[in-house]
Structure 1
Amino acid sequence: MKRLFTIDLKDYDETYSRFKRPSVRGIIIKDKTVAMVYSNKYDYYKFPGGGIEKNEDYISTLIREISEEAGLKVLENSICEYGSVLRIQKSRFAENEIFEQENFYYLCNVENSIHSQSLDDYELNEGFELRYVSVADAISVNRTHDHADYDAMLIEREAKVLELLVKDGLL
């Protein structure tokens, strides 16, 4: 999969150990809008998706995560690679550790029906909800609203991917 861009804060020492957490993200486009997960607590948009579990492949993770976070059923034959974003920074959770996350983005279609979400505790705490939103609105919220010092790299990553989708004529 082609690398779209890298975000590297370079806020770490190269001698630190690395914790790698690959993840997948779904790009679901419908009527010039995109399906995004909105955080009511921190006021930002993100593509539905999440971390790849041990012994889980990327496509299975994508299908599972979109179902859990957004309540949408992916049409497996519609899945198409878009690109990846590499994120590197000092871990927020462990001292002397580098957090490295490659985010793999896939274009996909979903069934029209929406079922209930199956959210983790932190996702419930953030008040995750599915919204079909215009690119302009999602970028505006991510770049101009107060996110209470939440993960700025994640929020900006999603805005940059949205811009690339527009540039590539997909939205």
Structure 2
Amino acid sequence: MRQLLEIDLQNYENCDSVFSRPSVRGIILKDNSKIALVYSEKEKYYKFPGGGIHKDEDKKEALIREVREEVGLTVIPESICEFGSVMRRQKSNVSPNTIFEQENFYYMCKTKNRIVDQDLDDYEAEAGFTLRFVSLNEAIRVNSAYKSEDYFNEIMIMRETKVLQMIKDAIQ
């Protein structure tokens, strides 16, 4: 998969271990005018539905599971197509002396029209994750204004905003 960009904060001097958490993200366009995204009611940002890849699953299996869990949409497996990846590296906000490394694999995909119940983790429910169909411009606008006390989240939303802009550029 082609690398779209790399985010390396190089703020991990004196770190002696690496925590790697590869993840998948779904790009679900509706009529080339709207995109299906997770909206955080609490934090007021948009992100692509997706998450970590379990040890017993491949990327496509993880994508199907994560999209269903986070937004209640069922991915059509044969529609899955690579878009690109983003490597993120920075000092962990959880484990001292640890580098957090995450390659995010983005996939274009289509979903069935039916929406099922979400199956959110506690932190996702606390953040108020909901499915929203919005324009790329609206998602970029909201995310560009996003500020948080949690710098870790700011880097995540910066990454998502850059990918949203790449999608916008690709479909114009």
Q: How many residues align?
A: 170
Task: After TM superposition, give the deviation of residue 148 of structure 1 in Å.
Answer: 4.2
Give the match for residue 123 of structure 2.
122
Give the match for residue 165 of structure 2.
163
> Cα RMSD between the aligned structures?
1.2
Cα distance in 1 for partners of 2:168, 2:145 equals: 19
2:115 partner amino acid: I
Task: After TM superposition, give the deviation of residue 149 of structure 1 in Å.
Answer: 3.3
Task: After TM superposition, give the deviation of residue 66 of structure 1 in Å.
Answer: 0.2
- Greater than 3 Å deviation, 4+ residue runs: 145-150
Question: TM-score under structure 1 normalisation?
Answer: 0.96
Q: How does 1:1-40 map to 2 (within 5 A)?
A: 1-13=1-13, 16-31=16-31, 32-40=33-41
Give the match for residue 50 of structure 1.
51
The percentage of aligned residue pairs carrying the same residue is: 54
Determine if contact 2:45/2:143 at 8 Å carries over to the other structure.
yes
String of CA shifts for 1:23-68, please: whole Å, max 9, x gaps. 0000000021100000011110000000001121100000000000
1:130 partner amino acid: L
Q: Does 1:76 align with 2:66?
A: no
Structure 1: give runs of 5+ residues left out of the alignment.
none
Task: After TM superposition, give the deviation of residue 146 of structure 1 in Å.
Answer: 3.8
Determine if contact 2:41/2:129 at 8 Å carries over to the other structure.
yes
Cα distance in 2 for partners of 1:15, 1:35 equals: 37
- For the structure 1 residues 134 and 67, does the alpha-carbon distance in structure 2 shift closer, same or farther, using more than 3 Å as the test? same
Give the match for residue 132 of structure 2.
131
2:29 partner amino acid: I
Give the match for residue 93 of structure 1.
94
- Structure 1 residue matching 2:93: 3-state secondary structure: coil
Task: After TM superposition, give the deviation of residue 145 of structure 1 in Å.
Answer: 3.7
Structure 2: give runs of 5+ residues left out of the alignment.
none
Task: After TM superposition, give the deviation of residue 13 of structure 1 in Å.
Answer: 1.8
Q: How does 1:94-109 map to 2 (within 5 A)?
A: 94-109=95-110
Question: TM-score under structure 2 normalisation?
Answer: 0.95
